[in-house]
Amino acid sequence: MRRRSLIAVICALVVGCAARTDTPNPFETGRSGGGQIELRVENLNFNDATLHAVSDGSRVRLGRVTGKSQATFQVDWPFVRDLRVEISLLASSDYTTRRLTVSPGESIRLLIQTPLNRSFLVR
């Protein structure tokens, strides 16, 4: 009888643990539970561009977009804040776009132009 009770308790614990869902905590800023933006980049320049997201004193590398091509990046973005994108062209100059206030879930487009200082962010 005692052994059956122990087995029943163990089975209940196993079933209970298996049924648990990992619901993200909305107050944890390190998690990306829906707190992302999409950055679609169109590089109209011939040079390859390395991109960094700049916001609130932090700088995060997004990646590289080859010349005359397009790329899409997903960026963790837990709350509303300003975004600037730093563009570094291979064998050329650097440029940082103007600020754009962005909310989680938004899709932003970056056009990299020639000359570089005509590049801009749009919704």
Secondary structure class of 41 (helix, strand, coil): strand
- Report the mean per-residue pLDDT for the chain: 84
Structure confidence at residue 26 as a pLDDT band (50, 70, 90):
very low
Longest dimension (CA), the chain: 83
The answer to whether 120 touches 95, Cβ cutoff 8 Å, is: no
Question: Is 2 contained in some domain?
Answer: no
Q: How many separate domains does the chain show?
A: 1
pLDDT digits (tens, 9 = 90+) for 64-86: 999 999 999 999 999 999 999 99
Q: The tokens of 50 are what?
A: 């390395």
Report whether pLDDT(16) > 90: no
Name which residue leads in pLDDT, 1 or 43: 43
Structural domain including 46 reads 35-122
How far apart (Å, rounded) are the C-alpha atoms in residues 52 and 85? 6
- Asked if residue 3 is part of any domain, the answer here is no
Structure confidence at residue 27 as a pLDDT band (50, 70, 90): very low
In order of 22, 37, 47, 72, 95, the CA distances from 65 in angstroms are 35, 18, 9, 9, 15
Q: Is residue 6 part of a domain?
A: no
Give me the CATH number covering residue 84. 2.60.40.2890
**Mean predicted confidence (pLDDT) in 58-63:** 96
Residue whose token pair is 């609130």: 56
